[in-house]
Amino acid sequence: MDRSKFIQSSSWIRVLEKRLLSHQFFLRLADAPSLKDALRMLNDTIYQTSISKLEKDTDYEKALSQELLRFYKEMYEISPSNIPIDFTVVKYYYHNLKVMAKEYVKKEDLSHLYVPLGNLDIFGLRKLLQENTSSKNEYLREVKETIRLYEKTKRPSDIDINLDRYYFKSLLKLADEADEDIFYSYVKNTIDFKNIRSLMRANAEGADLEFLTDILIDGGNIYKDNFYNYLNTKIEPDSKLFKYSNIYKYVKQGTEFFGKGRSLSRFELLVDNEMVDLIKNAKKITYGPEVVFAHVIAKEIELRNLRIIFVAKQNGLSSEFIRERLRDTYV
């Protein structure tokens, strides 16, 4: 990838970074007395326009969705290459493909669950699937294969498992196209996190080798075969499975948390925090695809933090509850 093509976009993104919400701002939001107060605190931010259009405070998801769409449209216009943006957008593609497969097998209309983001014409693909029209589209082929698998096993979980496998293959392909260290680290670390979490879930459920084999993903820094040795054994915080991996300090926290009888949900927070630590390296880079990628990840984390706060405020949960779940921020 020609780094010089990112000179102008990198300069512009440094300006846009000033719009990002800081960790201190999120702490103040967490202390807001109510959902209405939390929304009001965003009046002087980029979210003001979408929030002002809400008919009622509990419709905050509409404001977040509008900002998500606005943001990605802006990023695609700014970046000289789609690749740094596609790394996060492809997640929405596969979310949509899962919805498409599930509505096909359930014979239900789940169109309200689609996220119309990026360059994938999901409604066009949906029409092709429903009409059983032949197509060389790779995404449609993956959905059809997933549906055939479901029809064979009748296990709804196979839809998510199979499309997750294709999702990570797509990420690895993007990393090869980008050929920059930060993208390989992002994909491989994410796969390692997912596999470790899957192993711990399998052990908690007393699952067999076949189940573990089905849910493990190829392509991480930790070889997939290594996980089989730890099936039906207690995973210690300093396990050799991940002790020498790039994500050791995060997995250590996650296993300690889980070992105290708590849920695996902590891993989701730790995955996000690891991503933030990874993209902070982009602050040292004057220009390049990493600058675009870092900004996109930072925005994703920002939206996640806002959703955590809004949901908690709507349900009357404490500031402490929110603070425990807030992700680290880029600024």
Q: How buried is residue 166: exposed, middle or buried, by Cβ count under 10 Å (0-12/13-18/19+)?
A: buried
Q: What is the pLDDT of residues 246-274, one digit of tens each?
A: 999 999 999 988 877 667 788 899 999 99
Which of 167, 160, 73, 163 lies closest to 116, judged by CA?
A: 73
CA angle 301, 50, 41 (to 5 degrees): 70
Question: Is residue 61 predicted with pLDDT exceeding 80?
Answer: yes
Q: What is the pLDDT of residues 76-107, one digit of tens each?
A: 999 999 999 999 999 999 999 999 999 999 99
3-class secondary-structure state, position 326: coil
Token pair recorded at residue 179 = 């050929």
Question: Residue with structure tokens 């605190």?
Answer: 41
Give the pLDDT confidence score for residue 63 in this predicted structure. Answer: 96
* Percentage of residues of the chain with pLDDT beyond 70: 99
**Mean pLDDT value of segment 207-213:** 93
23 Cβ contact list (under 8 Å, min separation 6): 326, 328, 329, 331
**Mean pLDDT value of segment 144-168:** 96
Q: Judge whether 33 and 317 are in contact, CB under 8 Å.
A: no
